[in-house]
């Protein structure tokens, strides 16, 4: 085996690219012809263009491949860390997307529920309005029926023994003072006073006339043993007024008898008598119907039914 003699101070041949060294020149040349060296040499040429091309997965960079190779022997970094980080990032992204989708679904569900609640509230409001209207209507009907019933009870039971209107007229015992009152007050107020005074003298349940509504002048008259609502013309009351006024005129002879000086023009009683005759016969003016209307108003104010006492 031919071996070259090694000099005393041998030269060391070093391949920086491959981190290889030898004191044997022949061995060094063999190294330079190896595929490993040639590949490393090509990588080294690329590295000169991009000095930081040699990068470890851990993030460290090396100018030469030899440095990177040496580092990799001691580097504890693995691809698993990268994969884990990437997977974790992917998982987080998927989770966020899933949350966003769930949030959209939740919003849609809330929107639908609000729509249903709004419709239900509208139905409930309408139902309450209908029930309220129905209740008011029923209450009105009940109150109306109660009023009619109470009025019937008052008239037909409590006032069943009341006088007939014409019996009341016949029962009046007019006195001379009544005639003189008509002369002083006038026909309307005088006749009104006579009727009201005699009605008040009767027990309320014996009276032949009652008023249930003074505003509308609704009056009930006992005639021929039954209570009837007076018609708009108020014929029964007008008839009674005429009869009472006529009874009042029948007192004129009594006045003449009591005051014989009435015929003497210079006597004060003469003036009183003339006034008595005018007022007793209906007073001044020709509209008897209007006078009777006024008398009726005076009467009904005094015979209004006190419904709180029923």
Structure confidence by residue, pLDDT tens digits, 264-289: 888 888 888 888 899 888 888 778 89
Across the beta sheet with 209-213, the strand order is 209-213, 218-223, 226-229
Residue 149: predicted pLDDT: 46
Between 263 and 187, the higher pLDDT residue: 187
CB-count exposure of residue 5 (10 Å: 0-12, 13-18, 19+): exposed
Positive or negative: CA dihedral 25, 29, 32, 34: negative
Q: State the average pLDDT for the chain.
A: 82
Query: Which residues are 218's β-sheet partners?
Result: 213
Residue 1: predicted pLDDT: 45
**Confidence band, pLDDT 50/70/90 cuts, at residue 190:** very high
Residue 211: predicted pLDDT: 94
Residue 179: predicted pLDDT: 93
pTM (predicted TM-score):
0.52
Contact 65, 56 (CB under 8 A): no
| pLDDT tens digits, 104-123 | 777 788 888 888 888 888 88
Pick the closest to residue 43 from 67, 64, 73, 22 (CA basis): 64
| pLDDT tens digits, 225-247 | 999 999 999 999 999 999 999 99
Highest-confidence segment of 125-129, 136-140, 143-147:
125-129
| pLDDT tens digits, 119-136 | 888 888 888 887 776 666
Q: Is 184 helix (H, G, I), strand (E, B) or coil?
A: helix
């Amino acid at each position: 085996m031919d071996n070259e003699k090694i000099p005393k101070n041998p030269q060391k041949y070093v391949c920086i690219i491959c981190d290889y060294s030898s004191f044997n020149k022949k061995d060094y040349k063999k190294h330079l012809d190896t595929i490993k060296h040639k590949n490393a040499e090509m990588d080294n040429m690329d590295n000169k263009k991009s000095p930081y091309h040699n990068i470890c997965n851990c993030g460290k960079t090396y100018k030469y491949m030899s440095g990177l190779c040496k580092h990799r022997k001691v580097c504890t970094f693995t691809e698993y860390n990268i994969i884990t980080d990437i997977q974790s990032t992917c998982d987080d992204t998927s989770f966020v997307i899933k949350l966003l989708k769930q949030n959209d679904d939740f919003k849609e569900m809330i929107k639908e529920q609000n729509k249903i609640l709004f419709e239900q509230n509208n139905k409930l409001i309408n139902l309450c309005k209908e029930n309220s209207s129905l209740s008011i209507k029923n209450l009105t009907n009940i109150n109306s029926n109660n009023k009619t019933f109470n009025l019937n009870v008052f008239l037909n039971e409590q006032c069943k023994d009341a006088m007939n209107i014409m019996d009341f007229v016949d029962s009046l015992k007019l006195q001379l003072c009544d005639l003189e009152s008509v002369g002083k007050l006038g026909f309307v107020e005088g006749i009104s006073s006579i009727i009201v005074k005699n009605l008040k003298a009767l027990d309320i349940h014996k009276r032949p006339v009652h008023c249930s509504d003074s505003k509308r002048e609704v009056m009930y008259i006992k005639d021929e043993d039954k209570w009837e609502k007076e018609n708009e013309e108020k014929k029964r009351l007008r008839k009674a007024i005429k009869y009472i006024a006529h009874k009042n005129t029948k007192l004129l002879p009594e006045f003449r008898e009591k005051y014989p000086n009435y015929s003497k023009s210079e006597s004060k009683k003469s003036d009183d008598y003339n006034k008595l005759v005018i007022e007793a016969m209906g007073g001044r003016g020709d509209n008897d119907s209007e006078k009777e209307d006024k008398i009726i108003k005076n009467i009904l104010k005094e015979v209004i039914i006190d419904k709180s006492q029923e």
